[in-house]
Copies of this chain bind each other. A is one copy, B any other.
Amino acid sequence: MEPVLRAIAAGREAALEELKAFLRIPSVSGDPARRGEVRRAAAWVAEFLRGLGCRVEVLETPGHPIVYGEWTGAPGRPTLLTYGHYDVQPEDPVERWTSPPFEPAIREGAIYARGAADDKGQVFIHLKAAEACLRAERRLPVNLKFLIEGEEEVGSPNLEPFVAAEVDRLKADAVAISDTAMLAKGVPALCVGLRGIVYCQVDLQGPATDLHSGIFGGSVANPANVLCRLLARLTDEQGRVAIPGFYDDVRPLAPAERDAFAALPFDEAVYREALGVPALDGEIGFTTLERRWARPTFEVNGLHAGFTGVGSKTVLPARAMAKVSMRLVPDQDPDKLVEAFEAALRRLCPPSVSLTVTRMHGSRPWLMPTDHPAVQAAARALERGFGRRPVFIREGGSIPIVTTLTERLGAPILLLGFGLPDENAHAPDERLDLDNFYRGILTIAYLYRELT
């Protein structure tokens, strides 16, 4: 490994400049006006892979393109498929960023930009690891396939059909994904569980137009009042979700796993302070880590109705809208729960407003056995990269591709996250710790060897 390690060390400065160029592209997949920028990010990834000597294709979809690259110069050796995404979340509220979201800035040992942690920075770790190995040794101990998509932040609508159609091409002995976080600075982690999600929009329509709340108030249902009443009824005072049947398929946490979670170096006071909340809160009877990783939730992600500007307007709004999502754990089923959700709303909704529920995206929860040889190989690679044996954790977020690849390829999936929990993925001032960035490159270079 010596030549590889030297190549990685020598390339540190250059790597940072390249990463900045990647982060400067505002590849917001949810914004139709940024379609061209999203394509530019795809082209950037494709160009980098070509530079490594990969066979590369930029595959069109009805949405944003998929970048596929492969290096198959190690016949007879295992194949590692790396999945990642080059698209990013919207940058709003943009006024809350310390430096502009698409002008990467280095501060306090981290690089700040939309996509730094989720997921361009982590994709780039894999690109640089492969590059270092190839530059140092002109070959790799494994075959590599890269599947880098541009629609992860909008629910990957075109990835599932692509994977279904290209199972042969994508075949691999293991899949590596870096789109999660370490447990804490200095504590590498291997994520073996993810929550699923269903995301819906709820629209209530009352009167045909906004009304004067004095002249008409009291005689018609106010959609904003009704929306609050409906959503309030879906959770209870114990922090539980009150949709009938919601917990029916939840697999209880094994006592051993609860013990393992409890043994993790996790300080609730530090966590509370980092998030800046007056107090932690959640489902009664569970710890913070259990609530985040292994218990389902019902979250209101957005609310809008009536007048929201400065000052007052005495309006009875015609419409009220909520974006809501449920995080799911094994063995909850997204289809079943979105139906239960809509049925609960319909039962609660008065006839004086019209209710529309729009399902936006969903994915199943996922769990991986910790004694799988590929998981153990990844654990060894992390130990070499970070100088400390990783912990096995779960993650509260959803990565739809994980369930898709599990179902389609049957390969073990390795979630090697190099982000940190407080790096503001999906929020202003997103960043990636630079030490973790370099250690991530080392880890992936080690992973190629450990898998053989």
**B residues within 8 A CB of A221?**
277, 279, 281-282
Asked if A369 lies at the interface with its beta carbon under 8 angstroms from chain B, I say no
Asked if A197 lies at the interface with its beta carbon under 8 angstroms from chain B, I say yes
What are 10 A-B contacts defined by CB distance under 8 Å? A90-B313, A211-B275, A215-B395, A215-B396, A217-B396, A219-B291, A281-B350, A302-B305, A303-B304, A303-B320
B279 contacts A209, C-beta separation under 8 Å: no
By Cβ-Cβ distance, the 6 closest A-B pairs, closest first, are A208-B276, A214-B397, A232-B232, A281-B352, A224-B300, A302-B306
A278 contacts B213, C-beta separation under 8 Å: no
Query: Assuming the A-B contacts A232-B228, A321-B308, A325-B314, are A278 and B351 also in contact, with contact meaning beta carbons closer than 8 angstroms in the complex?
Result: yes
A220 contacts B303, C-beta separation under 8 Å: no
**B residues within 8 A CB of A354?**
278
Shortest CB–CB separation between residue A51 and chain B, in angstroms? 32
Which of A5-13, A160-168, A422-430 lies at the interface with chain B? Answer: A422-430
A277 contacts B395, C-beta separation under 8 Å: no
Which residue, A92, A307, A317, has most C-beta atoms of chain B within 10 A?
Answer: A307
- Interface size classification for chain A: 35 or more
Shortest CB–CB separation between residue A331 and chain B, in angstroms? 18
B303 contacts A306, C-beta separation under 8 Å: yes
Contact of A427 among B155, B211, B231 (CB under 8 A): B211
B282 contacts A218, C-beta separation under 8 Å: yes
Per-residue CB contact flags for chain A residues 272-293 toward chain B (1 = under 8 Å, else 0) read 0001111111110000100110
B313 contacts A396, C-beta separation under 8 Å: no
Report the bound CA distance from A106 to B173 in whole Å: 73
Shortest CB–CB separation between residue A63 and chain B, in angstroms? 12
A215 contacts B421, C-beta separation under 8 Å: yes
B300 contacts A323, C-beta separation under 8 Å: no
Report the bound CA distance from A397 to B216 in whole Å: 8
**B residues within 8 A CB of A217?**
292, 297, 299, 327, 396
Find residues 339-367 in chain A having any chain B CB closer than 8 Å to their own CB.
350-354, 360-361
**B residues within 8 A CB of A353?**
277-278
Shortest CB–CB separation between residue A268 and chain B, in angstroms? 9
